[in-house]
């Protein structure tokens, strides 16, 4: 781009040089930049008056992961406080603290596990608080932390940029552009889902107010993989309804593959070969797992009279498609999981633990982590020195990070399952299903959540919180932690297996 009156080579050749969408020399971007600086200055002045500016800036600059956890906890506490108000319940009485905190954590962590029925227990105000909490949680805690730190210090420090880039898989200098893309993508997809669902609810005989409310609530719940349902009858009546089921499948898919993949696909829609390795791994693995789970769950449940057996052939196919995506992220199910076979539960345990894409509204250890582990096993089985995929070599540090994330996730689920077994008299199959569903922020349940004792409910609360932010911040912290040693010890291979 030309500066100070100079003429660029592209201009001399009669071709327009591509402009940077964030170029501060452009008048509209300059105005937005000045407005952002004024807003951040106002926030900094307010914090300075409160005596918090220096401390907040220090934490934002040097401990962004801790800031992310703090902000996320504050949001959960705020949602829980609102749900504790008498106006939040349909009866007008205050909800028990454990139920308010459980629902708030489930909403902000976009899980969908509930101790009380969302449609009948909460008032319209409470339902609005729940779905807005899910919308905030779906945008990602690292996005919120990056925006806060940017508002305070006018710019993202190196550590914040690395953490945000780690979650959003963006270039170091393009974080703010990506954060705007996150918001535009979320609001855009949610608006489209609402416009698709609204006519269907109208055709079912609902008035415009109820139809619009159901469409709005379900649009946010679907894209954010939140798992909450506002209709009193649930999703069971829509098991064979393609007008409702197909948006659930497609909306869940878009929310679960992650913002970096959506952005990369949009940018390279005419050049699919130029997609990043992360996008290729995510799309390939997610699609393969979805196809496998649809066929496997459909085969297990096809003749089960309590699930697929009561549906038509078209309803069974649609339900299989819904189950292909809900077991790893959304938790929106047209068939009650408690009536499924135990073999289906075990398969869903594995799918839920894997989860969706990185920097998405889904949880779990993420499909890219699973893909790297599988590729490492295949490379070892073939005797290859390098781990390769799509013409690229995967670094050893990525493999080590994948192993660490998977091990940490399995350890968390194991400890939580032991605690739940001690606090309840339930069987291991149901406990393990519930624990993995909470950790992976899926929201599927065998029906035991409402009957859990208070102590077990608090275990699930902690599990949902850790599952949403723990693995993300742990992965970022491990990725940034690198020790350089001048002296390296002699290499030796212990016996394995």
Using the CB atoms, write b or e for 295-316: b if 16+ within 10 Å: ebbbebbeeeeebbeebeeebb
Indicate the pLDDT class of residue 204, thresholds 50, 70 and 90. Answer: very high
Write the CA distances from 9 to 13, 145, 254, 290, integer angstroms: 6, 41, 41, 49
Residue written as tokens 């909470």? Answer: 438
CA distance 172 to 166: 9
CA distance 427 to 437: 16
pLDDT score recorded for residue 14: 38
Q: What is the pLDDT of residues 451-493, one digit of tens each?
A: 999 999 999 999 999 888 866 666 555 555 556 666 777 877 7
* Range 178-207 average pLDDT: 89
Helix axes 396-423, 428-439, angle to 10 degrees: 130
Indicate the pLDDT class of residue 128, thresholds 50, 70 and 90. Answer: very high
* Range 161-175 average pLDDT: 46
| Lowest mean pLDDT, pick from 30-39, 285-294, 463-472 | 30-39
Q: Tell me: pLDDT of 435 over 90.
A: yes
Sign of torsion over alpha carbons 229, 68, 433, 83? negative
- Compare 305 and 328 and report the one with higher pLDDT: 305
- Compare 170 and 229 and report the one with higher pLDDT: 229
pLDDT score recorded for residue 330: 82
User: Which residues, in sequence order, are bridge partners of residue 389?
Assistant: 392
Q: Tell me: pLDDT of 268 over 50.
A: yes
pLDDT score recorded for residue 54: 57
> Residue 392 — φ and ψ, nearest 5°?
-130, 150
- Compare 11 and 350 and report the one with higher pLDDT: 350
Cβ(164)–Cβ(155) below 8 Å: no
Q: Tell me: pLDDT of 377 over 50.
A: yes
CA distance 190 to 130: 16
| Lowest mean pLDDT, pick from 277-286, 320-329, 411-420 | 320-329
Domain ranges of the chain: 39-480
CA angle 244, 247, 253 (to 5 degrees): 140
Burial level of 428, CB count in 10 A (0-12/13-18/19+)?
exposed
The token pair at 340 is 């499924």
Average pLDDT, the chain: 81
- Compare 140 and 51 and report the one with higher pLDDT: 140
Indicate the pLDDT class of residue 20, thresholds 50, 70 and 90. Answer: very low
Indicate the pLDDT class of residue 328, thresholds 50, 70 and 90. Answer: confident
User: Which residues, in sequence order, are bridge partners of residue 388?
Assistant: 393
Q: Tell me: pLDDT of 169 over 90.
A: no
Most confident of 2-11, 35-44, 45-54, 277-286: 277-286
pLDDT score recorded for residue 3: 41
| Lowest mean pLDDT, pick from 64-78, 133-147, 222-236, 355-369 | 133-147
- Compare 212 and 14 and report the one with higher pLDDT: 212
Neighbouring C-alpha atoms within 13 Å toward the C-beta of 396? 3
Can you give the length of the chain in residues? 497
> Residue 122 — φ and ψ, nearest 5°?
-95, 150
Helix (H, G, I), strand (E, B) or coil at 271: coil
Q: What is the pLDDT of residues 88-98, one digit of tens each?
A: 999 999 999 99
Q: Tell me: pLDDT of 444 over 50.
A: yes
Q: Tell me: pLDDT of 400 over 80.
A: yes
Helix axes 396-423, 367-382, angle to 10 degrees: 120
DSSP 379-430: HHHHT-SSEEETTEEEPHHHHHHHHHHHHHHHHHHHHHHHHHHHH----HHH
pLDDT score recorded for residue 133: 93
Indicate the pLDDT class of residue 148, thresholds 50, 70 and 90. Answer: very low
- Compare 360 and 486 and report the one with higher pLDDT: 360
Contacts of 416 (CB under 8 A, 6+ apart): 435, 438, 439, 459, 460, 462, 463
């Amino acid at each position: 781009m030309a500066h100070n009156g100079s003429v660029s080579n592209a201009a001399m050749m009669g071709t327009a040089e591509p402009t940077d969408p964030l170029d501060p020399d452009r008048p509209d971007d300059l105005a937005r930049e000045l407005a952002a600086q004024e807003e951040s200055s106002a926030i900094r002045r307010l914090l300075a008056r409160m005596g918090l500016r220096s401390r907040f800036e220090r934490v934002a600059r040097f401990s962004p992961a801790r800031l992310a956890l703090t902000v996320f906890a504050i949001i959960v506490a705020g949602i829980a406080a609102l749900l504790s108000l008498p106006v939040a319940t349909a009866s007008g009485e205050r909800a028990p603290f454990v139920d308010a905190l459980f629902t708030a954590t489930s909403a902000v962590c976009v899980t969908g596990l509930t101790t009380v029925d969302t449609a009948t227990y909460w008032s319209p105000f409470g339902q609005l608080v729940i779905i807005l909490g899910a919308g905030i949680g779906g945008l990602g805690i690292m996005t919120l932390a990056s925006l806060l730190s940017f508002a305070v210090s006018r710019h993202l420090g190196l550590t914040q940029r690395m953490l945000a880039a780690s979650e959003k898989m963006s270039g170091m200098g393009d974080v703010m552009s990506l954060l705007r893309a996150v918001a535009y993508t979320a609001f855009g997809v949610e608006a489209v889902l609402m416009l698709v669902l609204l006519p269907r609810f109208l055709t079912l005989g609902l008035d415009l107010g109820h139809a619009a409310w159901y469409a709005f609530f379900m649009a946010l719940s679907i894209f954010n993989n939140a798992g909450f349902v506002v209709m009193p009858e649930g999703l069971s009546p829509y098991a064979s309804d393609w007008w409702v089921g197909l948006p659930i499948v497609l909306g869940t898919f878009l929310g679960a593959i992650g913002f970096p993949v959506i952005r990369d696909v949009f940018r390279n829609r005419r050049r699919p070969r130029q997609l990043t390795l992360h996008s290729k791994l995510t799309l390939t693995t997610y699609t393969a797992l979805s196809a496998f789970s649809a066929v496997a769950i459909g085969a297990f449940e096809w003749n089960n009279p309590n699930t697929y057996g009561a549906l038509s052939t078209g309803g069974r196919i649609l339900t299989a498609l819904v189950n292909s995506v809900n077991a790893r992220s959304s938790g929106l199910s047209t068939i009650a999981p408690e009536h499924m076979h135990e073999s289906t539960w075990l398969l869903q345990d594995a799918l839920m633990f894997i989860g969706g894409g990185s920097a998405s509204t889904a949880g779990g250890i993420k499909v890219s982590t699973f893909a790297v582990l599988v590729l490492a096993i295949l490379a070892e089985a073939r005797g290859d020195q390098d781990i390769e995929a799509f013409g690229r070599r995967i670094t050893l540090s990525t493999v080590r990070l994948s192993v660490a994330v998977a091990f940490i996730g399995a350890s968390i689920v194991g400890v939580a399952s032991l605690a739940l077994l001690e606090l309840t008299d339930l069987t291991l199959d149901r406990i393990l299903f519930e624990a993995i569903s909470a950790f992976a922020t899926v929201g599927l349940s065998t029906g035991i959540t409402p009957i859990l004792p208070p102590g077990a409910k608090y275990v699930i609360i902690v599990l949902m919180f850790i599952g949403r932010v723990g693995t993300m911040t742990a992965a970022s912290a491990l990725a940034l932690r690198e020790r350089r040693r001048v002296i390296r010890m002699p290499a030796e291979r212990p016996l394995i297996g």
